[in-house]
Structure 1
Amino acid sequence: MITNNNEQNNYLTTKSKFIEIVCEKEKVLINLNEVMYIERDARKVRFVTKGSEYASYISLASLIKRLPYNFVR
């Protein structure tokens, strides 16, 4: 499981960062400031945000390279 350290530290940023994933054959932009945690679920990676959940076929290794430093594993 990968958690967003910003949420734990109540860290606010003026620049929102997004990650683009493919979810159910559609491209989705996820605001990284809203991500509570990311977890591997069988062959998919699940992004859990404050209001939604998204699943994508992406390798955890390539995802970690795309995430900012405030996400911890």
Structure 2
Amino acid sequence: MSGWRVTVDTGRCSGIGLCEALAPGTLEVGEDGHVHALTDGFDQSLLEQVEEAVRSCPTQSLSIERMQTE
């Protein structure tokens, strides 16, 4: 089985929250003003939403990596 993980470069993140709006339940702006992933990974059903969030990030703080799970 495979899945994906979204990572956030908190040094670049401005906490605008566009990604949270595009991928609710996957990304969230925390109290520290930075976006955080809400899960360790996500499956195919959320990939399109998260890809849109990554493409739309004005500070280019997000990336997706494919991971192998057992």
Asked if these proteins are the same fold (TM beyond 0.5), I'd say no
Could you say which structure has the higher strand fraction?
1
The structure with higher relative contact order (CA 8 Å, sep 6+) is 2
Q: Which TM-score applies when normalising by structure 2?
A: 0.41
Could you say which structure has the higher helix fraction?
2
Q: Which TM-score applies when normalising by structure 1?
A: 0.40
